[in-house]
Structure 1
Amino acid sequence: MFIQQYLPLLVYSFFLLLAFIFFRRGPDGSNAAGRDEYIDGVRGLAAISVVATHAWRLAAQGSNYTFDFPLRENYGSLGVQIFFCITGFLFFGQLYSRPEGFNWNTFYRSRIRRLVPAYFVSFILGTSLILALGNWSAFKPVQINHLIDMLFFGFKGNGNNLYALGIEIDRFFSVIWTLTYEIKFYLAFPFIVWACSTKRSESTALCIALAALAYEIAYSKTTFSGYFLTGALCAKFLRNIAVSLLIRKTAAAAAILATFASLSLDFKAYGFERFIISSVLFASIVIAKPRILSIRPLTGLGDISYSIYLMHAPVLMLTGFALEATLVGTSASPLQFILITFCAVTLVFAAAYASYRWIELPFLRSGKAAPEKKDTTEQKVVPA
């Protein structure tokens, strides 16, 4: 189907339409001093990229509707890479802007409030759908253990090649593998802060990090930790740099070209080439600080991006099962394809907004004591 090639454009367009409808006012009390609002816009677009990659779940149940397109995986991998860059950028931004140091008790409590409640809700949703939609004649007791493993933020896998009631578990939980890298970064961060406590130790730590990155790429031909390093270097050298308007425009053009290259070139998902392209992209955005990325609809998507990330797979799978029940045996017309995509995006948006509004936000607000209100690590540091 020719129109399937435009699925990412449809997904982006529908998300932006909904964002412009629902996000008209300022942020929900999160406009802290020193906040890099354009980063929220980047985060929102990154979350949409992951949804575009995973829209195949709409047709995963055997219907004639196809939601595949060339280089589909490029969108999701780019979104994850940018998420990792953002994490490194925000946390190292805190490191360089808080000479008084960290309250580690507050730091880790905020991370728990940020990650756990919404994740637990997404686990309940995914598990409930598997139990409701699965084939109980295929039940085996060990499948309960496989589902319980999904509680451990990807450290026990994401359910790939594991089945429960005839359904492959990773179709509901595939995105959780990235959380392991985020959590490892959080656990390593105190050691990183200690290593950067003096100019000399910081230089030594940087050399060790670069050597480790080179070894990782040479040994496995891929890198994940390198994106955190990219974000850290951008926070140190580019976040507060003063540049001319011409340089900002040049950086914006470089970001556009890097985005096009990342989405259109057939490189290994987390290989060296894509690491260079994504690093150039993120650095260019930090230099350009595009104002368009700070508009409320995009920052609103950034606010709910973690919930988008967690909720989209089970919601898309549920929609796919509904298609199987009602539309099997028919061929998809372009209009039907567009309408189904719009309905799926709307459901993902609604589920993500509900999760943010009634799960994430209350926990985030409950952890904001008066002295911590300007803690910009509370910006939506969203795994992907």
Structure 2
Amino acid sequence: MSDSIYLYLIPVFFVLWVTVIAVNKLIQLELTPVKYPEIDGVRGYLAFFVFLHHSYIWQQYLHTKEWSDPNSNLFTHFGQTSVVLFFIITAFLFITKLLESKTYFDWNHYLKSRFFRLFPMYICVVLVVLIMAGSYTHWEQHDSFFNLIKSISSWLFFTVAGASDVNGFKDTFLMNSGVSWTLPYEWMFYFLLPMFALLLRKKVPLKIVLLFTLAFLLILYINQASIRHFMPFIGGIVAAVLLKKFDLKPITQKPVFTFMALALLTCSVVFFESGRKPIPIIIATGIFIIIASGNSFFGLLSSSLSRKFGQITYSLYLIHGTLLFIIFYGIIGIEKASKLSNLEYWGIIAATVIPLLFLSQLTFKYIELPMMNYIKIKKS
């Protein structure tokens, strides 16, 4: 692919901004008060970068029939560094909660809130995947009953055992671009939180420590998890402890730190082919600390538009891969899509932004938000 492909990002981002404005006028959402608005403001962009990452991979796949990392540093970092930052954010927010908890930490509610936050939207996407797998295999059994139950169960349980092929449909993971691989790591961190609480000298019932640790080890074993994916969580923990101990806002809100963050990000993209290596993760942690301590990148991240965009992050993250599959596999067709020029392909990607954001806004409002409100009511 030629370097000119980067020019197609201009209309894609233009469509993004126009659509964000239109979506928020047609499907209105109230802004939820949060302690770290800049983090909310950056999350939507990270999910959108993952969408661009998979869009590039899909274009490669159409020509090579191989699902592999982009042969572009920028598009690789769109995916990998964004996921690194997602993991950093998770660790930061929950370790901060632990650090700020002065009374008993309600572990029962904590687990329920994580389930109701992640499962409802996830199961909706999985049901779509299973329906598509059934449709493309003509609702005929192409695998043993045992393997069918095993593969469906894996999908239902956050693909802890891997995104198995369903009913013999080769590379079923294409139906969501394999995005669910991050969720077992999220759950592993959630189950490790009591151990972190002990390290932070918080009182935790022995039963909670044992049960949560057992759950962590079980997922770790089944998932065959890679240790390198835990490194960003360490970055989030360091950020939480650092910002709890020091008030960096007067320093990091200065414009020079905005330019410093952009310069660091540029260096990471230019000099590193992967965002998962130690130095890019350290860079990402540094950039996150700047954002978490109040730097809004000249108001961009704290704007109501960015924050509303950030609210639909989880839906956008889960939906985009399925939408790409439907467009290129179901509507256009693999063979025809493989003959698209760069202009045609990225024109389709730009157009895809419109239904993607509308769907994400709808699913957030009518699936995610009600479940979030439900668990809040349960707590009170």
Provide TM-score, normalisation by structure 1. 0.79
Aligned to 1:196: 200
Counterparts of 1:1-384 in structure 2, within 5 Å, are 2=2, 3-23=4-24, 28=30, 30-32=32-34, 35-56=35-56, 59=59, 62=62, 70-71=72-73, 72-134=75-137, 139-141=142-144, 142-143=147-148, 145-159=150-164, 162=165, 164-173=167-176, 174-197=178-201, 223-238=228-243, 241-244=247-250, 248-290=254-296, 291-321=299-329, 322-324=331-333, 327=336, 331-332=340-341, 334=343, 336-369=344-377
Cα gap change, 1:16 to 1:323, in 2 (>3 Å): same
One-letter amino acid of the structure 2 residue matched with residue 323 of structure 1 = I
Cα gap change, 1:356 to 1:337, in 2 (>3 Å): same
Alignment deviations for residues 175-212 of structure 1 (CA, whole Å, 9 cap, x no partner): 111111110111111221122126xxxxxxxxxxxxxx
Q: What's the % identity of the aligned pairs?
A: 21
Distance 1:313 1:289 in 2: 31
Cα gap change, 1:337 to 1:117, in 2 (>3 Å): same
One-letter amino acid of the structure 1 residue matched with residue 323 of structure 2 = V
Alignment deviations for residues 137-160 of structure 1 (CA, whole Å, 9 cap, x no partner): 89323355324321121310123x
Check whether the contact 1:147–1:169 (CA below 8 A) recurs between aligned residues. no
Secondary structure, aligned partner of 1:367: helix
Q: Please, what is the CA RMSD of the aligned residues?
A: 3.2
**Any stretches of 5+ residues in structure 2 without a counterpart?**
203-224
One-letter amino acid of the structure 2 residue matched with residue 151 of structure 1 = L
Residue 70 of structure 1: how far off its partner (Å): 1.8
One-letter amino acid of the structure 1 residue matched with residue 322 of structure 2 = P
Residue 17 of structure 1: how far off its partner (Å): 2.4
One-letter amino acid of the structure 1 residue matched with residue 325 of structure 2 = M
Aligned to 2:217: none
Secondary structure, aligned partner of 2:320: helix
Number of residue pairs matched? 345
Aligned to 2:222: none
Alignment deviations for residues 340-380 of structure 1 (CA, whole Å, 9 cap, x no partner): 112222222222222211111111111113875xxxxxxxx
Check whether the contact 2:29–2:365 (CA below 8 A) recurs between aligned residues. no
Check whether the contact 1:258–1:277 (CA below 8 A) recurs between aligned residues. yes
Choose 253-262 or 302-311, whichever is displaced more: 253-262
Distance 1:274 1:157 in 2: 27
Cα gap change, 1:261 to 1:221, in 2 (>3 Å): farther
Distance 1:350 1:326 in 2: 28
Cα gap change, 1:313 to 1:247, in 2 (>3 Å): closer
Check whether the contact 2:174–2:325 (CA below 8 A) recurs between aligned residues. yes
Distance 1:57 1:230 in 2: 27
Check whether the contact 2:31–2:308 (CA below 8 A) recurs between aligned residues. no
Distance 1:57 1:134 in 2: 25
One-letter amino acid of the structure 2 residue matched with residue 275 of structure 1 = I
**Any stretches of 5+ residues in structure 1 without a counterpart?**
199-219, 373-384
Alignment deviations for residues 262-298 of structure 1 (CA, whole Å, 9 cap, x no partner): 3333334412122222122212222352132011221
Check whether the contact 2:38–2:294 (CA below 8 A) recurs between aligned residues. no
Choose 342-351 or 113-122, whichever is displaced more: 342-351
